[in-house]
């Protein structure tokens, strides 16, 4: 009888001593379908047993009865009635044994018997080894497929709950990155509109990996969303989420989570923290942490979470992240760590996205062959320069700010929203109509030149009022450069004669509708600013 | 206006053909307005009235469509007038000098 699996497990065959009747069987005793006389007993030979070394170097069949070796396995074999053991060696490796009881004739095995057994073993061993390898590979493949399937499920769950779109906040650039580890952890991030119109930002990390972590992540995500629709307080949201998660949290699992609420118009941020990494804020060369502490979610009932407040100045960056970033290792097993992160953050390079720069720094640190150990989540917010409260115009009050997808038709939406925002200013009806047409035309320029009609490239509109003027600023992403201000002045006579195209009225109309207009463009943004005097008397166009 | 999609109905009345428009007059009105002018041509009248009573919004691309229609009408020797424009859009027709090439009828006059 032979054994086929490793660590070496020997099957002990008894009763059928004829060498020609010896057959190879699978290692599981239950799988053996043999006559009662050939009943097989599984005997494990421990790796440490000297019999293994002996058989490895034995030139042929070994008489167990006569073998002088202090070996528990030898004793077990003798007790089981084994007389002769034939080592099965393939490519110098002992892969099993043929164990035979005494001959039925009660005579010793002859020299011919032994020669025959040696030949048989030499021929059987490679075939058995191949069978062993095939089975091992099949087992490995099945295990791999099972793990891959679990990963697919975990990834699918994870992806279902990541935001499909980033919030479009005027004067803010929001970016997010989620890089799953091979084993898929439980990282998540989310953006929610708060009941008071501010924007809620959640970043979290579930302990554990795979499907269990993904399911807890999904549940936490849903709870946070639901609670954020009922409260504007991040501390209260985390406290309620904790109360809901504690009773249903699987053993040894918990969730770290940071919940921040940002007012995009002022840069004011309020946050609460359930055991998550503290966010960093970079302003100029200074990198500071927004410090708030609290227990992770799901560990203990009745936890209250303190809130921290701060103000994000123009030209500042905020980074929220998971510990997969900090705990990434290089080839020498050194951790990326907080110092490297702070150094990368401190570079005030408005020309590149912070998120891209962090990922480049991280990739340079870990090297190209790095296998990511944990999920990495990054959320970055950048407040544009030069939009401090009060703006460029002294004494101005912000009325509204919004972003719209750069799709044809949204100029009408922009127009209506600006009209609603200035409704309380008491503009004379004809002046309101002029402002609406100017805004609509500016928005159309933004869609045509800034977004090139791509709905996923938004444009921003902000409206402010000064003691004398309404100022509307339409900012686009300048995909095709500046709105052309040097185009030919539209001439109806030439247009009717076919010497000019029928179109080309946009800037002409804006100029004639409002009291002042300005167009400026850099590499990243084009801005059209239209100004309308509040009172008719000061109107310059008529 | 609940439904802002542009629509145009060509109606034959004594001595003229009237194009009754409704909705937003912008670039998306292009095909509909072209087709309407095609109907006007097939009816053969030399007087065309553009009825803006139910048009709540006109932007520069809509103005361009009116310019093109006006150019076609002039080529065909057809006189054009506009009715139902709000004071604001009458102002725009004046600024763009469209009003120099078509009659702008104030009020509800048909």
The whole domain housing A68 covers 9-135
Read off the pLDDT of residues A447-485 as tens digits, 9 standing for 90 and up: 998 888 888 889 999 998 887 889 999 999 888 777 777
Q: Which residue of B has its CA nearest to A496?
A: B71
How many angstroms from the chain centroid is the CA of residue A419? 41
Q: Which residue of B has its CA nearest to A415?
A: B57
Residue to substitute from A410, A502, A539, interface B, most B β-carbons within 10 A: A502
Q: Which residues of B touch A503 (CB under 8 A)?
A: 60-61, 64
Q: Which residue of B has its CA nearest to A513?
A: B92
Question: How much of chain B is in helix, strand and coil states, percent to nearest 5?
Answer: 40, 35, 25
Q: A480 lies in a domain? A: yes
Which DSSP symbol is given to A536? G
Looking at the DSSP bridge assignments, the partners of residue A43 are: A10
Q: Which residue of B has its CA nearest to A437?
A: B59
Q: A388 lies in a domain? A: no
Mean pLDDT of the region A86-94: 89
Q: A199 lies in a domain? A: yes
* Binary contact (B74, A430; C-beta < 8 A): no
Cβ count within 10 A of residue A98: 26
Instruction: Tell me which residue in A411, A433, A495 faces B59 most closely, judged by beta carbons.
Output: A411
Residue-range domain boundaries for chain B: 7-105
* Binary contact (A503, B28; C-beta < 8 A): no
Q: A140 lies in a domain? A: no
Residues A200 and A333 in one domain: yes
The closest of A440, A527, A522 to A475, measured between CA atoms, is A527
- The DSSP result for A405-441, as a single string, is -S-TTHHHHHHHHHHHHTGGGT--HHHHHHHHHHHHH
Which DSSP symbol is given to A232? S
Q: A242 lies in a domain? A: yes
Q: Which residues of B touch A494 (CB under 8 A)?
A: none
Instruction: State the Cα–Cα distance between residues B85 and B107, nearest whole angstrom.
Output: 8
Its ipTM equals: 0.94
CA distances from A136 to A26, A44, A532 (A): 13, 19, 80
Q: Is B63 on the interface with A (CB under 8 A)?
A: yes
Residues A194 and A319 in one domain: yes
Q: Does residue A390 carry a pLDDT above 90?
A: no
Q: Which distant-in-sequence residues (6+ apart) come within 8 Å of A362 by Cβ?
A: A325, A328, A336, A376
pLDDT band of A281, cuts 50, 70, 90: very high
Positive/negative CA dihedral, A128, A132, A137, A143: positive
Instruction: Tell me which residue in A412, A430, A497 faces B57 most closely, judged by beta carbons.
Output: A412
Read off the pLDDT of residues A497-507 as tens digits, 9 standing for 90 and up: 888 888 889 99
Give pLDDT tens digits along chain B (110 positions).
447 899 999 999 888 999 999 999 999 999 999 999 999 999 988 899 999 999 999 999 999 999 999 999 999 999 999 999 999 999 999 999 999 999 999 865 55
Q: A82 lies in a domain? A: yes
The closest of A197, A229, A163 to A379, measured between CA atoms, is A163
Of the candidate CATH numbers 3.30.70.2190, 3.40.50.620, 3.30.750.24, 3.40.640.10, the domain formed by B7-105 belongs to 3.30.750.24
Q: Which residues of A touch B67 (CB under 8 A)?
A: 492, 495-496, 502
Q: Which residue of B has its CA nearest to A511?
A: B95
Q: Work out the minimum CA distance from A532 to partner chain B, whole angstroms.
A: 16
Q: Work out the minimum CA distance from B96 to partner chain A, whole angstroms.
A: 7
Instruction: State the Cα–Cα distance between residues A376 and A184, nearest whole angstrom.
Output: 10
Residues A272 and A294 in one domain: yes
Q: A24 lies in a domain? A: yes
Q: Does residue A30 carry a pLDDT above 50?
A: no
The closest of A274, A293, A277, A268 to A227, measured between CA atoms, is A274
User: What CATH code is carried by the domain that includes residue A514?
Assistant: 3.30.565.10
């Amino acid at each position: 009888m032979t054994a086929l699996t490793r660590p070496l497990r020997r099957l002990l065959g008894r009763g059928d001593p004829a060498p020609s009747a010896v057959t190879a069987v699978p290692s599981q005793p239950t799988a053996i379908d043999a006559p009662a006389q050939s009943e097989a007993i599984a005997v494990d030979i421990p790796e440490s047993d000297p019999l293994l070394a002996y058989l490895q170097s034995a030139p042929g069949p070994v008489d167990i009865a006569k073998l002088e070796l202090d070996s528990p396995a030898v004793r077990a074999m003798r007790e089981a009635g084994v007389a002769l053991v034939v080592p099965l060696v393939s490519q110098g490796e002992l892969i099993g044994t043929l164990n035979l009881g005494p001959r039925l004739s009660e005579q010793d095995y002859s020299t011919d018997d032994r020669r025959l057994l040696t030949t048989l073993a030499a021929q059987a061993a490679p075939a058995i080894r191949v069978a062993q390898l095939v089975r091992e590979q099949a087992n490995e493949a099945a295990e791999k497929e099972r793990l891959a399937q679990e990963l697919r499920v975990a990834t699918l769950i994870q992806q279902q709950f990541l935001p499909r779109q980033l919030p479009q906040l005027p004067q803010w650039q929001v970016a997010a990155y989620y890089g799953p580890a091979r084993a898929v952890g439980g990282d998540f991030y989310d953006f929610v509109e708060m009941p008071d119109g501010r924007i809620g930002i959640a970043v979290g990390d579930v302990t554990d990996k795979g499907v269990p972590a993904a399911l807890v992540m999904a549940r936490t995500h849903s709870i946070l969303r639901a609670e954020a629709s009922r409260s504007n307080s991040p501390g209260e949201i985390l406290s309620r989420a904790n109360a809901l998660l504690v009773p249903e949290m699987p053993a040894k699992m918990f969730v770290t989570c940071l919940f921040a609420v940002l007012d995009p118009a002022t840069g004011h941020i309020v946050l609460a923290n359930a055991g998550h990494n503290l966010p960093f804020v970079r302003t100029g060369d200074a990198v500071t942490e927004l410090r708030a502490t609290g227990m992770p979610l799901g560990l203990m009932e009745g936890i209250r979470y303190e809130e921290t407040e701060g103000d994000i100045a123009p030209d500042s960056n905020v980074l929220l992240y998971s510990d997969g970033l900090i705990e990434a290792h290089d080839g020498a097993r050194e951790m990326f760590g907080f110092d490297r992160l702070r150094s990368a953050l401190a570079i005030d390079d408005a020309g590149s996205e912070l998120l891209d720069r962090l990922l480049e720094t991280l990739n340079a640190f870990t090297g190209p062959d790095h296998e990511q150990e944990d999920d990495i989540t990054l959320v970055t917010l950048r407040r544009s320069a030069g939009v401090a409260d009060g703006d460029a115009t002294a004494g101005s009050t912000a009325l509204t700010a919004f972003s719209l997808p750069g799709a044809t038709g949204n100029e009408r939406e922009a127009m209506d929203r600006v009209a609603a925002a200035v409704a309380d200013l008491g503009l004379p009806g004809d002046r309101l109509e002029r402002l609406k047409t100017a805004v609509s035309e500016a928005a159309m320029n933004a869609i045509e030149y800034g977004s090139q009609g791509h709905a996923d490239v938004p444009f921003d509109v902000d409206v402010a009022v000064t003691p004398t003027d309404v100022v509307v600023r339409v900012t686009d992403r300048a995909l095709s450069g500046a709105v052309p201000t040097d185009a030919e002045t539209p001439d109806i006579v030439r247009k009717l004669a076919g010497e000019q195209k029928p179109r080309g009225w946009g800037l002409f109309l804006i100029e004639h509708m409002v009291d002042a207009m300005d167009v400026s463009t850099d590499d990243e943004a084009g801005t059209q600013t239209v100004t309308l005097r509040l009172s008719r008397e000061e109107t310059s166009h008529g | 206006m609940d439904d802002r999609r542009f629509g145009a109905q060509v109606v034959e009345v004594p001595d003229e053909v009237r194009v009754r428009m409704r909705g937003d007059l912008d670039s998306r009105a292009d095909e509909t307005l072209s087709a309407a002018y095609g109907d006007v041509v097939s009816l053969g009248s030399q007087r065309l009235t553009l009825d803006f009573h139910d048009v709540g919004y006109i932007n520069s691309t809509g103005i361009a469509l009116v310019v093109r229609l006006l150019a076609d009408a002039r080529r065909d020797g057809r006189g054009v007038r506009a009715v139902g424009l709000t004071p604001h859009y009458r102002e725009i027709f004046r600024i763009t000098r469209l009003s120099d090439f078509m009659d702008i009828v104030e009020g509800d006059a048909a």
